[in-house]
C-alpha cells in the first residue's frame, strides 16, 4: 500500500511558495503495536498551517523538513492494534496531511466522529474546529446581547461566517468585512448579515463610521493588522474584542507593528482577549450538539469549498491567503 503525504520541504519565508511543501509517495509498512491505521477522508485547511510550518505556535508539535504537515482530519480506522479502537470507527484529530495515518492514540488527541447521517466534512467545518472556534469565541469572550453592534473580519470565511451567524442569532446588528462583492451578497442575502464592507473597493474606516454610528460593541478579529487597529478606535464603552486570528500578519517577514489604538481599551473599559479553540476540548461535545441542533433547524448555513487529492493542499492553503475561498476549505483525499 502507498501513502501520499504532504511534507515540509523547506521553511517558508514570507508567503508560501512552490517547493516549500512537497508531495511524497511513501510505502505503508507494518502497523506498530498500540497504533491504529486511519484512511483519511477529509483534511481541514487552516490559515494556522502557515504558522505550524515555521514553528510559530506552541500548541502543535514542532516540524522539521521532511515531516508530515500537521492537519486536522476525519477518517476511518482500517486497522487497529489498540484495544480502544475498532475497524470501521470514524475518528477526528491531527491525522496529518496524508491519505493513510498511523496514529498512536496515547500521543494524539482523537475524538470519535458523529455517526451517519452527519456528513464527515461538516465535522471539520461548521460542527468541527471551525464552528467550535466561532462558538467559543462568541460564548466565552464576545458574550453578545440583543441590539449590540457586532463586526467580524474575514466574514465570508469559515470561522467568520459562523461567528456572524451566531451574532445574528443573538440579536446583534451584524457587519462583516470581506474581500469581494460576491461574498458581500452571500452574507447579506443568505446569512442575514445587516451589511458587509468590501475591504478592497470601499473605505473601511468611512463605512464603519456610517454603519456603526455609535461604535462597535464586539469586534471578532480574524485578520489583525490595520483592520484591528481601525476597529479598536471605534469601540463603544464595555466593548469586547475577540482575538481569533491575524491572517494579515501570518506571512510577515518582520515583527508586525502592534495596534497603535490599543489605548482605546482603557478609555472604553473594553476587553481584548485571545484564545485557541483547543483550550475548550472538554466542552466540545455539548457545543457540537448545540451547533448541530441549530444547523438541523435551518438556523445556521454551512458552506464548503472542496479541493480534491492530497496534492491539492498547497493550492487550497493559498486560497485562504488570496481570499478566493468562501466558507470552509477542505481537501477530499
Binding interface with ligand NAP (CB under 6 A): 46-48, 129-130, 133, 154, 156-160, 178-179, 183, 199, 222-223, 244-248, 275-277, 320-321, 323, 325
Question: How many helices (H) and strands (E) in the chain?
Answer: 9, 15
- Interaxial angle between packed helices 284-296 and 129-136, expressed in degrees from 0 to 180 and rounded to the nearest 10: 100
**Least distance CB 3 / ligand NAP (angstroms):** 26
Contact of 249 with 224, CB cutoff 8 Å = yes
**Least distance CB 298 / ligand NAP (angstroms):** 22
Degrees, nearest 5: CA angle 109-59-151: 105
For ligand NAP, the closer CB: 144 or 246: 246
For ligand NAP, the closer CB: 175 or 223: 223
Distance of CA 245 to the CA centre of its chain: 9
For ligand NAP, the closer CB: 78 or 290: 290
CA–CA gap between residue 116 and residue 75 (Å, rounded): 13
Distances from the Cα of 322 to the Cαs of 135, 154, 161, 215, 247, in angstroms?
25, 12, 17, 29, 11
**Least distance CB 289 / ligand NAP (angstroms):** 20
Contact of 125 with 331, CB cutoff 8 Å = no
For ligand NAP, the closer CB: 100 or 228: 228
**Least distance CB 307 / ligand NAP (angstroms):** 13
**Least distance CB 27 / ligand NAP (angstroms):** 33
For ligand NAP, the closer CB: 171 or 256: 256
Contact of 219 with 235, CB cutoff 8 Å = yes
For ligand NAP, the closer CB: 92 or 100: 92
Q: For residue 76, what are the contacts with CB-CB under 8 A and spacing of at least 6?
A: 38, 39, 41, 88, 89, 90, 91
* DSSP string over 310-333: GGGHHHHHHHHHHT---BEEEEE-
Cβ-in-10-Å burial (0-12, 13-18, 19+) of 108 comes to middle
**Least distance CB 189 / ligand NAP (angstroms):** 16
Amino acid at each position: 500500500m502507498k501513502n501520499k503525504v504532504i511534507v515540509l520541504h523547506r521553511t517558508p519565508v514570507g508567503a508560501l511558495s512552490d517547493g516549500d511543501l512537497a508531495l511524497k509517495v511513501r510505502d505503508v509498512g507494518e502497523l506498530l503495536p498500540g497504533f491504529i491505521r486511519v484512511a483519511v477522508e477529509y483534511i481541514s485547511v487552516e490559515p494556522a498551517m502557515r504558522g505550524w510550518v515555521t514553528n510559530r505556535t506552541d500548541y502543535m508539535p514542532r516540524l522539521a523538513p521532511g515531516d508530515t504537515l500537521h492537519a486536522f482530519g476525519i477518517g476511518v480506522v482500517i486497522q487497529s492494534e489498540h484495544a480502544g479502537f475498532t475497524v470501521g470507527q470514524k475518528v477526528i484529530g491531527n491525522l496529518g496531511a496524508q491519505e493513510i495515518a498511523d496514529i498512536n492514540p496515547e500521543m494524539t488527541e482523537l475524538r470519535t466522529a458523529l455517526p451517519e447521517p452527519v456528513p464527515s466534512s461538516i465535522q471539520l467545518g461548521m460542527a468541527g474546529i471551525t464552528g467550535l472556534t466561532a462558538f467559543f469565541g462568541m460564548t466565552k469572550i464576545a458574550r453578545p446581547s440583543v441590539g449590540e453592534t457586532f463586526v467580524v473580519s474575514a466574514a465570508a470565511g469559515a470561522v467568520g461566517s459562523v461567528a456572524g451567524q451566531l451574532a445574528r442569532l443573538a440579536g446583534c446588528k451584524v457587519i462583516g468585512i470581506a474581500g469581494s462583492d460576491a461574498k458581500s451578497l452571500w452574507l447579506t442575502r443568505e446569512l442575514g448579515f445587516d451589511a458587509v464592507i468590501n475591504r478592497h473597493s470601499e473605505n473601511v474606516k468611512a463605512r464603519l463610521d456610517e454603519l456603526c454610528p455609535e461604535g462597535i460593541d464586539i469586534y471578532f478579529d480574524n485578520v489583525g493588522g490595520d483592520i484591528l487597529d481601525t476597529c479598536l478606535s471605534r469601540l463603544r464603552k464595555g466593548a469586547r474584542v475577540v482575538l481569533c486570528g491575524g491572517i494579515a500578519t501570518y506571512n510577515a517577514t518582520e515583527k508586525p507593528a502592534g495596534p497603535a489604538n490599543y489605548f482605546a481599551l482603557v478609555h472604553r473599559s473594553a476587553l481584548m482577549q485571545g484564545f485557541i479553540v483547543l483550550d475548550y476540548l472538554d466542552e466540545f461535545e455539548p457545543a457540537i450538539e448545540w451547533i448541530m441542533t441549530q444547523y438541523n433547524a435551518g438556523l445556521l448555513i454551512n458552506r464548503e469549498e472542496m479541493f480534491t487529492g492530497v496534492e491539492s493542499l498547497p493550492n487550497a492553503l493559498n486560497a485562504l491567503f488570496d481570499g478566493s475561498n468562501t466558507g470552509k476549505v477542505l481537501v477530499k483525499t
